[in-house]
Structure 1
Amino acid sequence: MSQNSVLEFSYKKRTLKFTFDAGTSRGVLRERDVYWIKAYNPKTGIFGWGEAAPLIGLSIDFRSDFEQILNGYLERISEIVWPADEVEVLNLIQDLIPNDLPSIRFGVEMVVLDSINGGVRKYMENDLFEHSKEIPINGLIWMGSEDFMLKQIKEKLGQGFTCIKMKIGAIDFQQELKLLGFIRERFDASEITLRVDANGAFSPDDALSKLEQLAKFDLHSIEQPIMTGQISEMSKLCENTPVAIALDEELIGSKDKAQLLDEINPQYIILKPTLVGGIFQTRQWIAEAESRNIGWWMTSALESNIGLNAIAQLTSSFHPKIPQGLGTGQLYHNNLRSPLDISGGKLRYRQELGWENPF
């Protein structure tokens, strides 16, 4: 889209089916709905792709009338003359789509930027797409029985992952410590980086004692040890913790990034563009965090490969050094075939694989 253009928008709903029961401390996921967005440029014949993927239990725009709202906004923005500049597009979308519709914002950012860049599934300048530069990622261990979790751990280690992230908080805590011990008995912290994600499962009363027990396993970090909204309790934890704390759900729906980071002062933040409002908002979070020497990494929120592609390219544009949470493309029976490929604990974009057409 070398000049300003009007785009014609449409969407398609897809129900993605998990290859297993994906356990979290908030319950088990077996399927989830995503909405693939298409933008057609009648002047050039170019098609852009995007994805709005609100996640049950987390997205502030997960609601029963989501589809009607999405359709209404796509009709509205079909009248917009879109600029050909990335910064102008992102600024315009902030004005067009409100803060309480973060997944729609992200989907529209994707589909318009893809159109601007020629409909080749490129959203911005980045080394993943343009130079096939690998992104290190963590291997994710889902909750379940002790045997199921141990099986996953062995598989991830066998696949060459050097960073393992284990979801905790659903089974007996002592069993979870035993699983971490299984890894540490075989690999020290210089060989395998260990992260855990509590999804708010600990209470403020017992969180510190649990963190002290977890610290024995030389963990890199723990995500969201207590539930969101307990600002003073989380601040105290971050100040006294023996394990670095990463805020995750705490960021969702936050209206003042600077205030939240100043009040809690975490060691890390986790960025999920679908949940925090897309590319523009994610970049703002990173700027605020880096100005305070707070670390960060990017994580997908169980999108299909369309959304994962945009998140991975956004991640790549920051030249990440530490493992990112971008290994979710293999979770579904019916994900869209794509050039995204994982081997040896790294995500690659292999142009030769091509895209399956979702429309």
Structure 2
Amino acid sequence: MGLVRIEGIHLALPLKKAIKHASYERTVSDSLIVRVTLEDGTVGFGEGVPRSYVTGETIETTFDALETGEVAQQVGSPSDFVDAVARIASIRLPSIENDPRGMFGNAARCAVELALFDAYGRRFGQSLSDAIRQLLTGRSYLRSTPGPVRYSGAITANGARKERISSWKMRIYGFHQVKVKVGVSGQDDPARLRQFRSILGRSTDLRIDANEAWSADELLERVAPLREFNPTALEQPVPHLEVERLTELRPQLGIPIMLDESLCGEPDAHRAIDSGLADLFNVRISKCGGIAPTLRLINLAVEHGLGVQLGCHPGESGILSAAGRHLASNLVGLRYLEGSYDRHVLAENLTAPDITFRYGGWAEPLSGPGLGVAVQHAPLERMTVARRELTP
């Protein structure tokens, strides 16, 4: 059962409010949606979130990466789901292979990989969880059965009044973990964290994300006044070009360091491990190239005693939310989990049913063939900016 068609779609998902951090501010989230069609007419959908400031990708470069990828040839004609999973997990794109950091094309690879898992899952009556469990066979961090997960909340940089309201919402909604964006110009981070602590309480696990905001030379000075609020992790404190400085600075900071923008492919992971740059990895399915590459990064972290956050891209649709749910539901030992913010972030979603987490951040594993969610035709058409028929 081979692949006969790949269509790339530029989708603009409207956000309920602007998402702001030290690197970027956006009111619309641009996604690459890939629709694949198998020989028998079975259709599958996948999503990638190209961000030029993360992996260097744009919508156009993702189209180009898939155009030259010879995906149909790599997938061939799987005889069953097990065969399909093995073939899909092995897909390679030239743009990634030729990039020293192994990341230029990751959003494209993620989108087509998820679309294929969705299509072949529907064709053979299997779920993405079944694929993940096959890929994790024998791993110590594979759950015995898919189980419920608990997501963390996030407070973006929105001004004192809005942040105070967000803090109360986090407390009332029962989140046990909250991430706060720091490092935005003009904001008093110690005062902000003091306010968050006073509202959230001492028992809430509070972590901070600087999104490359600080130079290595100022890092110790910036972090020192934040330690009294007991953040459990500091995410990407310096720009990627200065990340090597964390070898010397990390032991002096007093807060565990998590890499994000500096962790996009396996070369990044090996560099971080060899140089002692981090205590935790933030893996995001689109940023890291899909389910199979993400699992390889998780395995490297586990093997070397590093913690793992399964993150997300703000504004991703229910397609990536579903992929993250399937992955998290099958893993033991995730330090932090982000995602499934759908109805809290998106003015309109692409998929049904609504899989947004419930009170306390709790959510159940997904069932059904493929991704377990359905792409809705009407919102797909409304939010489409451009389409491109791609050589399969």
TM-score class, shorter = 0.7 to 0.9
Secondary structure in structure 2 of the residue aligned to 1:94: coil
* 2: CA distance, partners of 1:179 / 1:300: 24
Residue equivalent to 2:71: 77
What SS does structure 2 have at the residue aligned with 1:109?
A: helix
Classify the secondary structure of the residue corresponding to 2:50: coil
Residues 210-266 of structure 1 show CA distances to partners (whole Å, capped at 9, x for unaligned) of 222111011111101111122431112222221111011111356353233211341
Cα distance, 1:104–1:121 mapped onto 2, change above 3 Å: farther
Unaligned 5+ runs, structure 2: 98-103, 134-143, 381-392
* Partner SS state of residue 255, structure 1: helix
Task: Give the C-alpha shift of residue 87 in structure 1.
Answer: 4.7
The 1:97–1:89 alpha-carbon spacing in structure 2 relative to 1, beyond 3 Å, is farther
In structure 1, distance between residues paired with 2:268 and 2:192: 38
Partner of 2:120: 116
Distance 1:105 1:157, change over 3 A: same
Q: Secondary structure at the match of 1:341?
A: coil
Q: Of the candidates 267, 279, 293, which is equivalent to residue 267 of structure 1?
A: 279
* Amino acid of the structure 2 residue aligned with 1:77: V
Q: In structure 1, the residue corresponding to 2:128 is in which secondary structure?
A: coil
In 2, distance between residues paired with 1:306 and 1:164? 24
Taking structure 1 as reference, are residues 68 and 250 closer, same or farther at Cα in structure 2, changes over 3 Å only? closer
Q: Give the 3-state SS of the residue equivalent to 2:271 in structure 1.
A: helix
Q: CA RMSD in A?
A: 2.9
Amino acid at match of 1:335: N
Are the counterparts in 2 of residues 82 and 89 from structure 1 also a CA contact under 8 Å? no
Provide closer, same or farther for how the CA distance between residues 323 and 294 of structure 1 changes in structure 2, counting only shifts above 3 A.
closer
Q: Secondary structure of the equivalent of 1:49?
A: strand
Give the Cα separation in 1 of the matches to 2:169 and 2:352: 23
The separation in 1 between residues aligned to 2:9 and 2:126, in whole angstroms, is 17
In 2, are the aligned partners of 1:139 and 1:327 still within 8 Å (CA)?
no
Taking a change above 3 Å as real, the CA distance of residues 203 and 345 of structure 1, as seen in their structure-2 partners, is: same
Q: Which residue of 2 aligns with 1:98?
A: 96
Give 2:154's aligned amino acid: L
Q: CA deviation at 1:280?
A: 2.0
Match of 2:43 among 41, 47, 57: 47
Deviation string for 1:289-322 (max 9, x for gaps)?
1111011111111321112211221222223453
In 2: Cα distance, 1:108 partner to 1:97 partner: 14
Contact 2:155 2:181 in 1 (8 A): yes
- The amino acid of 2:214's aligned partner reads F
- Alpha-carbon separation, structure 2, partners of 1:9 and 1:27: 31
* C-alpha displacement of 1:52: 2.5
CA contact (8 A) 2:19 2:27 kept: yes
CA contact (8 A) 2:110 2:286 kept: yes
Secondary structure (helix, strand or coil) at the match of 1:98 reads helix
By relative contact order (CA 8 Å, sep 6+), the higher-ranking structure is: 2
Q: Is residue 246 of structure 1 aligned with residue 258 of structure 2?
A: yes
1:319 aligns with 332
Superposition TM-score, scaled by structure 2 size: 0.80
The whole-number CA distance in structure 2 between the counterparts of 1:201 and 1:263 is 22
Partners of 1:294 and 1:86 lie apart in 2 by 31
- Show the counterpart of 2:320: 307
TM-score where L is the length of structure 1:
0.87
* Corresponding residue of 2:207: 195
Q: Deviations over 1:59-81 (max 9, x none)?
A: 32226x3364156247x434552
2-side partners of 1:95 and 1:184: how far apart?
45
Aligned residues: 350
| Alignment partner of 2:198 out of 160, 168, 185 | 185
Contact 2:12-2:31 at 8 Å conserved across structures: yes
- Whether the aligned pair in 1 keeps the contact of 2:11 and 2:30 (CA below 8 Å) is yes
Q: Secondary structure at the match of 2:240?
A: coil
CA contact (8 A) 2:180 2:208 kept: yes
Q: 1:233 to 1:107 in 2, by over 3 A?
A: same
Q: 2:22 aligns with which of 25, 32, 44?
A: 25
Q: Calculate percent identity across the aligned residue pairs.
A: 19
SS in 2 for 1:334: coil
Q: 1:269: how far off?
A: 0.9
Task: Please tell me the residue identity of whatever aligns with 2:307.
Answer: G
Say which SS state the counterpart of residue 230 (structure 1) adopts.
helix
Say which SS state the counterpart of residue 364 (structure 2) adopts: strand
- Give the SS at the match of 1:250: coil
